[in-house]
Amino acid sequence: MRFITEFVAGFELSIHLPSSYQEENKRYPVIYLQDAGNVAMDAFNYLQHLFNSKQLPELILVGVKPHDRNHDYTPWPAGALVTGSSSFGGGAGRYVQLLADEIKPYIDRHYLTMPERENTAIAGCSLGGLVSAYAYFNRPETFGKSAWISASFWYEGFIAYMQETPLPAEKHRLYMYVGELEGIYKQTIQSGMVAQTKEAHRILLAKGFPQEQLKFETDPLGTHDSFFFAARFMNALKWLFADGTDAFPR
């Protein structure tokens, strides 16, 4: 893959182009990744294998580096979880707007993308998964697929937001994951990570999200770290863009 760094709308982008890029008449789906796309880089060689072996169609990956995760990825302000840690700024609305209205159009103008919503995904882990969920509710006309990997559904008020907000009318394909050991040693609201994620899944189905468009995985040994995020990201890509079989079957 070819790597390019760009600065758009004040954000640093890490753009990963397929090996076949610039072949005649070829365009590619795009996935926008939070946290600079680190989840893809953590399993880059295996990801390349999935492309080379045709288990995945080639994609353009756009990693977006946040200015401040606690601000960019949270939907409304909230206090710090523990004394001495940072509070949450609630800047996700502005961040998602810039991603949809400035960053994506720039990528579509300058790269060989398939710009339609059904060929455009957003994904992230932890708070990056939370803002990806928020983008689904707020910009469904832009992002037709998403992956919420160990998303921070413990965030104060987010489950209530999901309960109160109608599902977007546009068809969406979604991957969700949480590890069963996430948050079990926390003394804060993060201890509810697993229960809140399962509640988020229940809410989606109860509101009518098509079950055939949603894949929800758990792992009895899963903790909240990149070791598990990267493996589940491969499964997410296969669900969103390929045959839906697991890249890492259990």
Residue 38 belongs to a domain with what CATH number? Answer: 3.40.50.1820
State which residues form the domain around 220.
Answer: 2-241
Q: Is residue 248 included in any domain, yes or no?
A: no
Confidence at residue 168, expressed as pLDDT on a 0 to 100 scale:
96
Q: Pick from 152, 147, 117, 151: which is nearest to 236 by CA? A: 147
Q: Is residue 207 included in any domain, yes or no?
A: yes
Chain segment 83-102, per-residue pLDDT in tens: 889 999 999 999 999 999 99
The three state secondary structure string of the chain is CEEEEEEECCEEEEEEECCCCCCCCCCECEEEECHHHHHHHCCHHHHHHHHHCCCCCCCEEEEEECCCHHHHCCCCCECCCCCCCCCECCCHHHHHHHHHHHHHHHHHHHCCECCCHHHEEEEEECHHHHHHHHHHHHCCCCCCEEEEECCCCCCCCHHHHHHHCCCCCCCCEEEEEEECCCCCCCCCHHHHHHHHHHHHHHHHHHCCCCHHHEEEEEECCCCCCHHHHHHHHHHHHHHHHCCCCCCCCC
Q: Is residue 246 included in any domain, yes or no?
A: no
147, 233 Cβ separation under 8 angstroms: yes
Q: How do beta strands 11-17 and 60-65 pair?
A: antiparallel
Q: Is residue 52 included in any domain, yes or no?
A: yes
Instruction: Write out residues in the chain with pLDDT < 70, as ranges.
Output: 249-250
Chain segment 22-35, per-residue pLDDT in tens: 888 899 999 999 99
Confidence at residue 244, expressed as pLDDT on a 0 to 100 scale:
76
Q: Is residue 250 included in any domain, yes or no?
A: no
Confidence at residue 249, expressed as pLDDT on a 0 to 100 scale:
66
Whole-structure pTM value: 0.97
Q: Is residue 162 included in any domain, yes or no?
A: yes
Total domain count for the chain? Answer: 1
Confidence at residue 28, expressed as pLDDT on a 0 to 100 scale:
97
Q: What share of the chain has pLDDT > 90, as a percent? A: 94
- Kindly give the interhelix angle for 226-241 and 44-52, rounded to the nearest 10 degrees: 20
The phi, psi pair for 121, rounded to 5°, reads -120, 160
Q: Is residue 249 included in any domain, yes or no?
A: no
Confidence at residue 22, expressed as pLDDT on a 0 to 100 scale:
84
Q: Is residue 41 included in any domain, yes or no?
A: yes
Q: Pick from 139, 122, 115, 99: which is nearest to 11 by CA? A: 99
State the burial class of residue 2 (Cβ atoms within 10 Å of its Cβ: 0-12, 13-18, 19+). Answer: exposed
